[in-house]
């Protein structure tokens, strides 16, 4: 009887550990000057003009641990005519198990650009 109980407990724990693989986050970038272009640096992909929509991020192999919190490093470039190019690495922490919750509560990054004049 105790063997079956032990197997049942191990089975339930393994299901719980597998569900922890699905974690979500979301980010949004706001700049002081509107209509700045935001691009992903690593793959040279244009994302949007600011103010940005909320972008979802799913836990994947590019996840890193920072102070025990799973996060994803994302390298972005913010450009606008008449302003200095801004290259920044943002850290998007994974806090939510459901994507809807992550989209409701995105991590917001504010950036201010320096004018060339």
Identify whether 3 is part of a domain: no
Which SS3 state, helix, strand or coil, does residue 13 take?
A: helix
Model's pTM, two decimal places?
Answer: 0.70
- Tens of pLDDT, residue by residue over 37-48, are 888 888 878 888
Identify whether 15 is part of a domain: no
Mean pLDDT of 43-58: 83
CATH of the domain at 46: 2.60.40
- Residue keyed to tokens 């919750």: 101
- Tens of pLDDT, residue by residue over 69-102, are 888 888 989 888 888 888 888 889 988 888 899 9
Would you state the structure tokens that stand for residue 44, as one six-digit string? Answer: 């040279």
Q: Provide the H-helix boundaries in 1-117.
A: 2-19, 99-104
Domain of residue 65, residue span: 23-111
State the Cα–Cα distance between residues 100 and 25, nearest whole angstrom.
9
Identify whether 30 is part of a domain: yes
Q: Read off the pLDDT band of 117 (50, 70, 90).
A: very low
Residue 8 confidence (pLDDT): 72
Query: Is the per-residue pLDDT at 64 higher than 50?
Result: yes
Identify whether 16 is part of a domain: no
**Number of independent structural domains in the chain:** 1
CB contact at 8 A, 73 and 62:
yes
Identify whether 12 is part of a domain: no
Highest mean pLDDT among 15-24, 35-44, 96-105 belongs to 96-105
């Amino acid at each position: 009887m105790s063997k079956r109980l032990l197997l049942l407990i191990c089975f339930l724990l393994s299901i719980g550990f597998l569900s922890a693989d699905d974690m979500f986050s979301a980010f949004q970038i706001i700049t002081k000057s509107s209509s700045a272009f935001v691009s992903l640096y690593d793959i040279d992909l244009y994302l949007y003009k600011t103010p940005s929509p909320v972008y979802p991020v799913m836990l994947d192999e590019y996840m890193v641990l920072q102070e025990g919190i799973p996060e994803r490093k994302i390298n972005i470039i913010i450009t606008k005519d008449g302003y200095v190019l801004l290259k920044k690495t943002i850290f998007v922490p994974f806090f939510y198990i459901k994507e809807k919750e992550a989209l409701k509560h995105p991590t917001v990054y504010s950036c201010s650009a320096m004018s060339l004049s």
